[in-house]
Chain A
């Protein structure tokens, strides 16, 4: 076993700095495409759409895909319960063991899977992730979900859709459509993980050797 890659790098977002410092500075050559206020509004809008399209969200279970899908799922859950007056269950679904690219990297450490006590059978599961790119993460999540139970329906919410799908997958709820080139890297920073909220668009070369490979093979 070797240096481990953090889970969820799939979307090309930043990973926590090993020193524990958040990456607050936008690297040169990168630009902020969403600020914290815009992220807040996007999530509020998604929450409203979920309520509309699920008849009041009474059977909704939000499952975030680690790492940054999980705080997003919890933020959405908070908004849903605020709007509807009943708690919306949220949890996490790690997809590492279902990835189709495990053999391309040294073994990865696992994220946490936590299914709310209500379970997922006959529920409307909304998968939550930060960035939608190739669609392979979502494919893995659907497989993982199938091994956990049988939801009535599965929907997908993402903060950013950057295009370049490699599988027939489309999101139900999108915070922002962000057309990108494959050489670009999209980073989502969240306060729970990174100390601040932002979506950053940079060049692949901006961080050689690390998550820069986000563009490849998703």
Chain B
């Protein structure tokens, strides 16, 4: 594996499977009386969050703490970051603090790439703009494998705002690496113009895709898209691309429903679908901690000289 985890494309099949297998072992830690491992004692993990995302930050924080790392939360609000300090200056500060890993969440695509050029520690992308969110893709794959027992040949349908979704990008890349077949379904306005060059299928008709689906992943509709002419009205979007009871019934018996959260209940997913036993939305949260523990362990648990 690389020194950093910035894109799902950085992971070979072996790397990805190693992370999933490691997460499988580490998931047990949650069930033990002492939910902590001494592995990263003395290592410092900085959570550098330029975007509000309590869920993701808490998940990384729990993962780092279960591995006994020191965690420093460096959030953009109320810090020098908010006062206009550049990413580069912040990077130099983190360097001075001796950060062994920087977990970065940023609204600008590519910010983790830039950061990796300025710090010596490992950079973990916790979501950058409309680019990628590799640990989300890993936890999604982990959840699929736990529920369905395999990834190879699995038919995954990702529905919604693919154009602006870092979750979709990372999932397409990672699932492809792991042998799954991905289909993107969205209104044409929310697919990238060159989606034909992506390693997946794409289409506009959700009803047609569902019967051939083992996993359906519903993407969140961001509020700022709702008034930007990507679709006429939320109602129409929901009618054409939302997952409701009728559509749930089109899925094969064994199929599962995923959502990276936070959900817009009643828009891309109906409330009772989100709460149905086929929904993995709650497990995805728990699995996120195991995956992030695995990533932090594999990036930081070994020799520094090799990094």
Contacts and interface: CB of A to CB of B under 8 A. Distances in A.
Interface of A: 1-2, 4, 94, 97-98, 102-113, 143, 146-149
Given A97-B37, A107-B302, A149-B33, 6 more contacts: A1-B298, A2-B306, A97-B301, A103-B302, A107-B297, A108-B302
Interface stretch (B24-32, B44-52, B136-144, B244-252): B24-32
A111 B1 CA distance: 19
A102 B33 contact: no
A148 B297 contact: no
> What is the predominant secondary structure among interface residues of chain A facing chain B?
loop
A97 B21 contact: no
A109 B21 contact: yes
B18 A102 contact: no
B interface, size bucket: 20 to 34
B15 interface: yes
A147 B21 CA distance: 21
A5 to B, nearest CB: 9
B299 A107 contact: yes
Contacts of A97: 37-39, 67, 297, 301
B28 A113 contact: yes
A186 B177 CA distance: 39
Nearest to B306: A106
Contacts of A106: 302-303, 306
29 contacts: A1-B1, A1-B298, A1-B299, A4-B18, A94-B25, A97-B38, A97-B39, A98-B37, A98-B39, A102-B301, A102-B302, A103-B302, A103-B304, A105-B302, A105-B303, A105-B306, A106-B302, A106-B303, A106-B306, A107-B300, A107-B301, A110-B21, A110-B22, A111-B25, A143-B38, A147-B32, A148-B32, A148-B34, A149-B33
B13 interface: no
Given A1-B299, A2-B306, A148-B33, A102 B39 contact: yes
B212 interface: no
B36 interface: yes
Given A97-B297, A102-B39, A1 B303 contact: no
B70 to A, nearest CB: 16
Contacts of B34: 146-148
A105 B304 CA distance: 8
B25 A113 contact: yes
Contacts of A110: 21-22, 25-26
Nearest to B3: A1
Contacts of A112: 25
A164 B260 CA distance: 53
Contacts of A4: 18
A112 B32 CA distance: 15
Contacts of A105: 302-303, 306
Interface centre among B22, B301, B304, B306 (most CB of A within 10 A): B301
Nearest to A98: B38
Contacts of B26: 110
Nearest to B1: A1
A2 B302 contact: yes
B100 to A, nearest CB: 11
Contacts of B306: 2, 105-106
B108 to A, nearest CB: 26
A213 B269 CA distance: 56
A94 B18 CA distance: 16
A98 B21 CA distance: 18
A9 to B, nearest CB: 14
Contacts of B18: 1, 4, 109
Contacts of B25: 94, 110-113
Given A97-B38, A112-B25, A107 B304 contact: no
A214 B273 CA distance: 55
Nearest to A150: B33
Nearest to A140: B38
Nearest to B37: A97
A147 B36 contact: yes
Interface centre among A106, A107, A147 (most CB of B within 10 A): A107
Given A1-B1, A1-B298, A97-B38, A109 B22 contact: yes
Interface in B138-185: none
A111 B306 CA distance: 22
Contacts of B297: 97, 107
Contact of B298 (A107, A113, A143): A107
A147 B26 CA distance: 14
A2 B15 CA distance: 9
